[in-house]
């Protein structure tokens, strides 16, 4: 669902060097305006990073369409760089979650000798849910080769580590891979 940008703030979508990205290319949302907060309390390093060049950098990646609407892509910190390509976990998760037998899915980065990083899927399924081959086929049908998970690990829904707000704590899943 595409969103319109508020007329009460100036919005840019930028690459890691703060250059504006063209329509259709994911970029970090940076904004400024009279109603935006002026910074974090007693957090000079964070403010220097997040409030640079007069804009607040959200840490969220969006894609702008020709009509000016934007779509959320993913959190910038979740980006996986594999063989020089950018992989957005949310895109893979949407494909996995499109299977009716998948209850939850999280994509995390794994160290990869050949590609630097590669995506790995943690998946919770219903009782009669799909096996790894069925999910890999689903990914093959819907994702470019470099975006496909290197492996799929099945875990119980309740074994997804979650924050108090219910968000999956990806860093804990990444640590499990490293073990």
* Residue 142: inside a domain: yes
Coil, strand, or helix at residue 102?
A: strand
For the chain, the average pLDDT equals: 92
* Residue 53: inside a domain: yes
Give the predicted TM-score (pTM) of the model.
0.80
Alpha carbon distance 139, 69 (integer Å): 27
Encoding tokens for residue 24? 């259709």
- Residue 135 CB contacts under 8 Å (≥ 6 apart), including other chains: 96, 99, 102, 121, 123, 152
Q: How confident is the model at residue 1 (pLDDT cuts 50, 70, 90)?
A: low
Domain boundary (76, 93, 117) is at 76
Coil, strand, or helix at residue 152?
A: strand
Residue listed under structure tokens 């049908």: 141
């Amino acid at each position: 669902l595409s969103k319109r940008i508020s007329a009460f703030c100036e919005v840019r979508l930028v690459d890691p060097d703060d250059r504006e990205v063209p329509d259709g290319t994911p970029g970090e949302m940076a904004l400024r305006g009279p109603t935006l907060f002026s910074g974090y309390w007693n957090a000079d390093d964070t403010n220097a990073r997040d409030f640079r060049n007069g804009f607040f950098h959200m840490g969220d990646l969006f894609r702008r369409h020709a009509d000016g609407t934007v779509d959320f892509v993913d959190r910038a910190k979740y980006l996986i760089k594999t063989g020089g390509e950018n992989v957005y976990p949310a895109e893979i998760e949407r494909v996995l979650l499109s299977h009716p037998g998948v209850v939850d899915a999280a994509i995390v980065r794994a160290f990869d000798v050949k590609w630097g990083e590669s995506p790995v899927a943690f998946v919770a399924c219903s009782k009669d849910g799909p096996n790894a081959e069925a999910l890999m086929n689903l990914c093959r049908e819907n994702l470019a080769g470099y975006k496909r998970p290197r492996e799929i690990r099945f875990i119980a829904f309740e074994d997804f580590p979650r924050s108090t707000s219910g968000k999956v704590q990806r860093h804990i899943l990444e640590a499990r891979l490293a073990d």
